[in-house]
Chains A and B, each alone.
Chain A
Amino acid sequence: MYEGAVQDLIDELGRLPGVGPKSAQRIAFHLLSAESTDVSRLVAALTRVQQEVRFCVTCYNVAEAEQCRICRDPRRTDDVLCVVEEPKDVVAIERTREFRGRYHVLGGAISPIDGVGPDDLRVKELMTRLMNGAVTELIIATDPNLEGEATAAYLARLVSPMGLAVSRLASGLPVGGDLEYADEVTLGRAFEGRRRIDA
């Protein structure tokens, strides 16, 4: 245990995801020995995040204005909507530059163990968006794990009366990988989702 302020800093850092007690200690002592301008910049960044960043009123992505950059962009199409769990998933899909529609961020996945049900996610807001009729296709891009699959199955069932085209992201073999290194589940999925080659 260290004296007051240092230990407080270590405790706070240790509460961050992916930071264990050893890493927290290392970061804390790094900050102690860093230039005071560096530390001030970090403090300023944290303050700005807290004060200025909010969630887009339409899609619940992180935004610095009422609406996020994507929802404001007039060049994107309104008829395809991609549902993701977290804002970081939006960034991941944006990196592909393949998708030109809009997003909806749920804020997590259904997980009863963690006490997360549909009411804790932005499902109602999604339904409201779908009601206005502009969206004709829904792409569900939740994580390919148990909770993500459950969320996808739940959403698919929920929107099925609306007559939308609903799809789920394909799961299977990583590009550039070797078949022999794939685990059975992934390989099984890849078989299920195989595609005809048009020659």
Chain B
Amino acid sequence: MYVRHLQVGSFRNWEHVDLPLGPGPTVFVGRNGEGKTNLVEAIGYLATMGSHRVSSDAPLVRHGAEQAVVRAALRRGDRELLVEIEINPGRANRVRVNRGPLPRPRELLGMVRTVLFAPEDLALVRGDPTERRRFLDELLVTRTPRLAGVRSDYDRVLKQRNALLKTARLARGKAIETLDVWDGHLTDYGGQLLAARLHLVADLAPHMSEAYAEVAGEGAVVAGLGYSSTVPLAGTGSAVAPGAPVPSAAELTEAMRERIAERRNDELDRGMTLVGPHRDDLVIHLGPAQAKGFASHGESWSLALALKLATFALLRGEGEDPILILDDVFATLDAERRAALAAVARSAEQTLITAAVVDDVPEELRGVRVEVGGGYAVVVKDGPGVGERAVVEGRVP
């Protein structure tokens, strides 16, 4: 799929942008702080209803405005898809698809598929488990939108149960009689979430090994993925072998129930839920060791890139290219990794690249540029003659 036309209103530093885009690579080029990333961030928002840079929606709305609007016309095979999101910080977003409102904004998830690679992704290898859980869950929801509901139900039960455990610590024995009830709900949703994550890790692992070999070049050690869980049945973190069986949701629910019973006293002491997918981690392996704390800076970058390329390959394998977004990453990669990334970027149905200097971007990707600066975003295409430029469309902010 690709974005054919993007409009944003009151989004970040942009008051209004109206931009025609096409398939193939497009480079957004301009000095830092002009708003290149904000434009691709808006497209990323259509896919995940979240930003890769901030966790709340408030910073996305232009200073002084009450709401931001992102509107995109996408091309999916020979069909047109019109998506419009009104971002209302602190309130529910409003989403329209093909001009019809969606009763639940959540239903948009999975319709627009993107894979975004940005400097922030180094945290996938070196950062907290939170980052990796978010990565897994976002991808889960993209592939199986139904899981967005399971995940939000799980979070809600978790909040209730934690509140109960906290009060139970103060008045032990009193509030605890309802704990069993919450355990039932928590393990129900938890089992489903665990099963889905395990399937995802199993599906993603072979792509990860392949992508890392591509990125790191000949003779590099093998990269793998594992799942480390607070529920022993769900994984101990060792790299998953191809074709290994995955326990069912019912089995995982049962295993989680047992584990929660075992750890009840610890949970009461600490006043929080210690067992469940919210405490788990995706483990990235490099050769025999875990990447976190072991991989060098360069290897960490390669692993982060490989993880995103693996994601791209996984989604592509399901029949449709996701939109590939490369936010300010070419400048930080060496020649070999640039080449690996450029090869995928060239083959993707649409690749959106941001860069401060166009020279940072491999030459074969530079054909179409959006020059961003001074409050304008202007599409520039290389003309038929060498060095000839044609301004296609500009937009006054």
Residues of A near any B CB (own CB < 8 A)? 110-113, 115, 117-119, 146-147, 149-150, 153-154, 157, 181, 183-185
Contacts and interface: CB of A to CB of B under 8 A. Distances in A.
A180 to B, nearest CB: 12
Given A150-B178, A183-B149, 7 more contacts: A110-B181, A117-B175, A118-B177, A146-B185, A153-B181, A154-B178, A154-B181
Interface of B: 103-104, 146, 149, 153, 156-157, 159-161, 163-164, 167, 174-175, 177-178, 180-182, 184-185
A46 B180 CA distance: 42
Contacts of A146: 153, 156-157, 160, 185
B178 A113 contact: no
A150 B181 contact: yes
A146 B146 CA distance: 17
Contact of B180 (A117, A147, A157, A183): A157
Given A117-B175, A119-B174, A185-B149, A112 B181 contact: no
Nearest to B175: A117
Contacts of B146: 184
B178 A111 contact: no
Nearest to A115: B167
A138 B51 CA distance: 48
A112 B184 contact: no
Nearest to B157: A146
Contacts of B161: 112
Residue picked from B146, B164, B181, most chain A C-beta under 10 Å: B181
Nearest to A153: B181
Contacts of B159: 113
How would you classify the secondary structure of chain B's contact residues: helix, strand, loop or mixed? helix
How would you classify the secondary structure of chain A's contact residues: helix, strand, loop or mixed? helix
A184 B174 CA distance: 37
A174 B373 CA distance: 53
Contacts of B184: 153
Contact of B160 (A112, A154, A183): A112
Given A110-B178, A149-B185, A153-B181, A184 B167 contact: no
A55 B103 CA distance: 38
A110 B178 CA distance: 9
A49 to B, nearest CB: 32
A77 B182 CA distance: 34
Given A112-B167, A115-B167, A183-B104, A150 B175 contact: no
B178 to A, nearest CB: 5
Contacts of A118: 177-178
Q: Nearest 7 A-B pairs (CB), nearest first?
A: A112-B164, A112-B163, A113-B163, A153-B181, A154-B181, A150-B181, A184-B146
Contacts of B149: 183-185
A186 B160 CA distance: 22
A122 to B, nearest CB: 15
A112 B171 CA distance: 13
A175 B387 CA distance: 66
A171 B300 CA distance: 49
Given A115-B167, A183-B104, A184-B146, A147 B160 contact: yes
B20 to A, nearest CB: 34
Contacts of B163: 112-113, 115
Contact of A112 (B104, B175, B180, B185): B175
Nearest to B146: A184
A86 to B, nearest CB: 19
A157 B174 CA distance: 17
A184 B182 CA distance: 22
